Amino acid sequence: MTAPQVVVYPDADVLAAACAARMVTTLTDVQSATGSASVVLTGGGIGIAVLDALRRCAARDAIDWGRLDVYWGDERFVPRDDGERNEKQAREALLDHVDVDPGRIHAMPPSDGWCGDDVGAAAAWYAEVLDRQARGEHRTGAPMFDLLLLGVGGEGHVASIFPSSPAARDTDHLVTAVRDCPKPPPTRVSLTLPAIRLAREVWIVTAGEAKADVLAAAYTGADEVNLPVAGARGRSRTRWLLDAGAASALPELDQTHLL
pLDDT for 168-186, tens place per residue?
999 999 999 999 999 999 9
pLDDT at 143: 81
DSSP 169: H
Residues 55 and 97: their CA atoms lie apart, in Å, by 7
Residues 225 and 192: their CA atoms lie apart, in Å, by 11
Please give the mean pLDDT across all residues of the chain: 94
Interval 88-142: pLDDT, tens:
999 999 999 999 999 999 999 999 998 889 999 999 999 999 999 887 776 667 7
Pairing between β-strand 37-41 and β-strand 68-72 as defined by DSSP bridges: parallel
Residues 220 and 68: their CA atoms lie apart, in Å, by 35
> Helix crossing, 12-34 with 44-56: angle to 10°?
60
Residues 104 and 163: their CA atoms lie apart, in Å, by 32
Task: Assign 254 a pLDDT band (cuts: 50, 70, 90).
Answer: very low
Q: Go through 194-205 and write b for each residue having 16 or more CB atoms within 10 A of its CB, e for each that does not.
A: ebbbbbbbbbbb
Interval 12-68: pLDDT, tens:
999 999 999 999 999 999 999 999 999 999 999 999 999 999 999 999 999 999 999
pLDDT at 138: 62
Tell me how far the alpha carbon of residue 145 is from its chain's centroid.
11
Residues 176 and 228: their CA atoms lie apart, in Å, by 15
DSSP 72: E
DSSP 4: P
In the beta sheet, which residues pair with residue 68? 37
E strands, 50-151, in order: 68-72, 74-76, 147-150
Tell me how far the alpha carbon of residue 88 is from its chain's centroid.
15
Spell out the domains of the chain, with CATH numbers in brackets.
5-250 (3.40.50.1360)
**Best CA proximity match to 20, nearest among 103, 99, 93:** 93
Angle at alpha carbon of residue 41, lines to 203 and 55, rounded to 5°:
100
> Helix crossing, 44-56 with 86-93: angle to 10°?
20
Angle at alpha carbon of residue 65, lines to 47 and 57, rounded to 5°:
55
Q: Is the torsion defined by CA of 226, 228, 229, 235 positive or negative?
A: positive
Range from 1-5, 37-41, 58-62, 213-217 carrying the lowest mean pLDDT: 1-5
Is the whole model's pTM more than 0.85, yes or no?
Answer: yes
pLDDT at 154: 95
